[in-house]
Amino acid sequence: MVGPRPEHGPVQTSSGDEGLIEWLQARAGLSAEQIAQLRGQCAQTGLPLREQALGLGLIDSATLAWLERLPAGWSGAVPPPALGRYLLERELGRGGMGVVYQAFDPQLGRRVAIKQLLPRDEGPVAARARERFAREARACATLSHRNLVPVYEVGELGGEPFLVMELVAGETLEQALARDPSIRQVVSWVQQVAEAVGVAHAAGIVHRDLKPGNVLIEREGGAARLTDFGLARDLSLDVQLTHAEALVGTPAFMSPEQAAREQATPASDVFSLGAVLYHALSGRLPFGGNEEGLAEVLVAIASLEPPPLRQVAARVPVDLQTVVQRCLEKEPA
Assign residue 92 a region: left if phi > 0, alpha if psi is -120 to 50, beta otherwise?
alpha
What pLDDT shows up at residue 184? Answer: 97
Pick the CATH number of 170-327 from 2.40.170.20, 1.10.510.10, 3.10.129.10, 3.50.50.60: 1.10.510.10
What number of helices (H) and strands (E) belong to the chain?
12, 9
**CA pair distance 112, 104, nearest whole angstrom:** 6
Amino acid at 189: W
What pLDDT shows up at residue 243? Answer: 42
What pLDDT shows up at residue 167? Answer: 95
Question: Rounded to two decimals, what is the model's pTM?
Answer: 0.70
Active site residue 209: yes
What pLDDT shows up at residue 242? Answer: 38
> Looking at the domain that runs over 82-166, which CATH code has it been given?
3.30.200.20
SS3 98: strand
SS3 179: coil
Mean pLDDT, 10 residues at a time, the chain of 333 residues = 39 56 77 88 88 84 67 53 82 74 90 81 68 71 89 78 90 96 98 96 89 94 86 39 56 91 91 98 88 83 94 96 96 73
What pLDDT shows up at residue 119? Answer: 62
Distances (CA, A) of 85 to 60, 68, 81: 14, 17, 10
Tell me which of 17, 105, 209, 234 is the catalytic residue.
209
What's the distance, Cα to Cα, between the start and end of the chain in Å?
A: 77
Domain ranges of the chain: 18-68, 82-166, 170-327
**CA pair distance 152, 167, nearest whole angstrom:** 11
What pLDDT shows up at residue 19? Answer: 74
What pLDDT shows up at residue 1? Answer: 42
**CA pair distance 234, 237, nearest whole angstrom:** 6
SS3 195: helix
Neighbouring C-alpha atoms within 13 Å toward the C-beta of 237: 19
Q: Where are the beta strands (DSSP E) in the chain?
A: 82-83, 86-94, 98-105, 110-117, 151-157, 160-166, 170-172, 215-218, 224-226
**CA pair distance 300, 311, nearest whole angstrom:** 18
